[in-house]
Amino acid sequence: MKIKNIRIINPENGRDEIGDICVKQGLIAATDETDEEADEDVIDGTGLIAGPGLVDIHVHFRDPGQTHKEDIHTGAAAAAAGGFTSVVMMANTVPPIDSPELVQEVLEKGASEPVRIYTCATVTKGMKGLELCRYRELAEAGAVGFTDDGKPIMDEKLLQAAFSEIAELNLPVSLHEEDPAFIKESGVNSGQAAKNLGLTGADRLAEITMIERDLKIAAKTGVKLNIQHISTAEGVSAVREAKKSNPCIHAEAAPHHFTLTDSAVEKYGTLAKMNPPLRGSDDREAIWEGLSDGTIDIIATDHAPHSLEEKSQDFVKAPSGLIGLETSFLLAYSTLYKKDILSLSDIFRLMSLNPARLYGLRAGTLSPGSCADIMIFDPDDTTVYSSSLSKSCNSPFLGKTFEGKIKYTIVGGKIIYQAQ
């Protein structure tokens, strides 16, 4: 394959220039290499942008156990349409992925998909917060990290023991930071929007106290800690301060948290219900600042499919979460790039290079010798998000028109998605 006359953005080395990309045997070839056979599959990249394939380290594909919402195949299809070439699945399936056998089972299912599929395993057995898993065995089976995402781990001594063991493996642990003691009803911020719904909601202290606690435990153990889907200004500040002395701290922001505020709950109802909830405009601006100054070093979707029937329930009964793979880059482009919060190179670093490095994946770069995992974007086209390749449709962004369009997703030099 050869991609000609395209703007190449490689966050690994700061490259941003017009050039050609040559692919040989699934790898990025040196730009000065020539081979007539490489020209057999040519993409004219005039006016287009090429970046490393996106890497999402926070997706829920609901497989096993809840495949009426999503399965690995449909999740991979949605990922490819969003420009993602690698994804890391969360472990809160039914049953949770807490054994080597389950790790191997989901990886075997993922091996037949065009997108590169990875998985985490749980921190605690059954995600019950009572007993540690056997981390080395899970890692040997193929788990790339550990998380009880969806449930906070409340036992501090247990968590410190987990951090100490996981640190020895040099693998990341990603945590959902919400203390249920501060939550009356989940999925909506404790504020005016909650009051208008007749609810109390989730106090911001639910997140703040857990982040502060876990940053201290991480400092004691040296574990690679990723704070998931950060939503509060105070949480961003705590991570910023911790990073001054601990390079093992990471944080991710979800597109919905840097795009919407809690007023969206009144407009979209359960489609804007998520954990942690959407917060105020000051929190959103703090997330923008955290993304800009490097405090938040990863953008991850928290792609969380739910059926129409589930989301059609009363607000309190409906599950939290939204799908996000197909809109993630488009939201980053419109909200962060167009508002001059981040450059395109910054966005590719946050959505590709940094998550790949945290999880030790061979991805996130267009340097010679790297895997030819590429996304190609047209900044002058538009995307009408009228339907999803996911099994679910729980997104407040359905029906929206976005600036820009993902034209191709390429894995190992093979086109796995091409826009119509």
My answer on whether 37 and 57 are in the same domain is no
Q: What is the pLDDT of residue 40?
A: 64
> Which own/partner contact pairs does 163-170 have at CB distance under 8 Å and 24+ positions apart?
163/217, 163/218, 163/220, 163/221, 163/223, 163/225, 164/221, 164/223, 165/132, 165/135, 166/123, 166/135, 166/223, 167/221, 167/222, 167/223, 167/224, 169/135, 169/136, 169/139, 170/224
Q: The domain spanning residue 382 has which CATH number?
A: 2.30.40.10
Instruction: Work out how many domains the chain is built from and give that number.
Output: 2
My answer on whether 283 and 383 are in the same domain is no
271-302 pLDDT, tens digit each: 999 999 999 999 999 999 999 999 999 999 99
Q: Domain boundary at 358, 378, 401, which?
A: 358
Instruction: Decide: pTM greater than 0.95.
Output: yes
My answer on whether 76 and 30 are in the same domain is no
Active site residue 293: no
My answer on whether 39 and 81 are in the same domain is no
The tokens for 29 are: 């070839």
My answer on whether 28 and 70 are in the same domain is no
158-185 pLDDT, tens digit each: 999 999 999 999 999 999 999 999 999 9
My answer on whether 306 and 269 are in the same domain is yes
Assigned domain for 293 exists: yes
Q: The domain spanning residue 231 has which CATH number?
A: 3.20.20.140
Q: What is the pLDDT of residue 76?
A: 98
* Residues 10-33, mean pLDDT to the nearest whole number: 91
Tell me which of 63, 302, 346, 373 is the catalytic residue. 302
Expressed as residue numbers, the domain containing 402 is: 2-49+370-418
Q: Is the pLDDT of residue 38 over 60?
A: no
Assigned domain for 365 exists: no
Q: Domain boundary at 358, 385, 407, which?
A: 358
Q: Domain boundary at 308, 336, 358, which?
A: 358
My answer on whether 135 and 117 are in the same domain is yes
My answer on whether 41 and 75 are in the same domain is no
Assigned domain for 174 exists: yes
My answer on whether 213 and 310 are in the same domain is yes
My answer on whether 346 and 378 are in the same domain is no
Assigned domain for 364 exists: no
92-110 pLDDT, tens digit each: 999 999 999 999 999 999 9
My answer on whether 263 and 275 are in the same domain is yes
104-134 pLDDT, tens digit each: 999 999 999 999 999 999 999 999 999 999 9
* Residues 201-211, mean pLDDT to the nearest whole number: 98
* Residue 131: CB atoms within 10 Å: 10
My answer on whether 148 and 11 are in the same domain is no
Q: Give the rounded distance of the alpha carbon of 32 from its chain centre.
A: 34
Q: Is the pLDDT of residue 31 over 90?
A: no
